[in-house]
Structure 1
Amino acid sequence: MMDSLPEKLQQRAQRNAQKRNEKKALIADSALQALQELGFANTSLRDIAARADLSLGMLHYYFEDKAELIAYCVLAYKADFLAYLKSALDGSEGREAVIQRLAEALAASIFNDGPTHRLWYDIRNQALFDPSFRDTVNDIEQGLIEVLAQAWVQAGHDVGAFSPLLYSAMDGAFRYLMQHHAMSPATGQQDIAADLARVLERIL
């Protein structure tokens, strides 16, 4: 009986940790909805707590402050975005196929997840002034650079010739087209994909 007690305690701890993580994920979903509508500067913890149907004190139980919550939200979303881009590249061989697949995936994301991308750029700007966001932003950008490096290799280039500065060109085009679509949504998804493909042809 005594020998099995540590194992039972360990299982209980694992269940509690899983429940906590599930609750944090639910809170993050509610936070993202508020942040997408109001932006970083205009969203308070009270707004988020109200969306999540929690008291402010209970919200602080899961997240120490607004910065920790927002970093958690953005990191979780960007992890899904990176997995989505890597999946789009899987199986594509040759420069033309890589460019087409990546351009189409990026364009679809502008249409499907534009509000969350706007939040990402908002937080990235905040990181210039608030050091609490810098590790999260650096981790996400490193992941995006690695995706472009993967595309570079699949397009037939030597990995040693890849420069992270190429990411800035892709990011600039993506941000511009995402912002343009938010302000003037008449442009179709295929047109945006074509614009992205033209940029990627210069990069890859």
Structure 2
Amino acid sequence: MALHYPNGRKFVQERTKSNTQQNKKISYSNRGKTLEDDLNETNEYYLANGVAVIHKKPTPVQIVDVHYPARSAAVIKEAYFKQASTTDYNGVYKGKYIDFEAKETQSTTSFPLKNFHEHQIEHMKQVVKQGGIAFVIIRFSVTDDIYLMESEKLNYFWERMLNGGRKSITHEEIGSSSIKLTIGFQPRIDYIKGIDSILSKLV
């Protein structure tokens, strides 16, 4: 089946030697898992233990070509990823609506703001305006440094870029303006501790 991005570019699952070498640089504690894998495992743990109900939003796909080799069978030949309208994850914790985006980068020095979209920034602003909690989880994949940054802090760096400033956030800036998270066993990434820190400031 052919999958395409919203801009029409074909989706290709790359399996290159360089990728394999890069994966080897990731700490053994993470065993090469993606941020999405770890967050999904974390959310399953939260749900199973009655901590929170948070899920990944499904990626919308537009099907454009379907073949019917038999009446009881359909084969999708071509489809396009639709651009997500909001963020990656949402749910409820302690009666609060939770909404966040998860991103990772291979860079060790900065995080490119081009990884976010204007509609995602605006969506998180609206969530906060309605009393919800919005944030981003950023992972530096090579060093396995993981941070939870409140959307209000991200807004500062976004506005700085729009006003002609740098188009990325330095690792140091993220470290000083975010909550540091760690990889564990159960849960894998206990970001609820970061949310608790946010909630404590609202009391």
Q: Mark yes or no: TM-score above 0.5.
A: no
**Higher RCO, Cα 8 Å, sep 6+:** 1
Higher strand residue share: 2
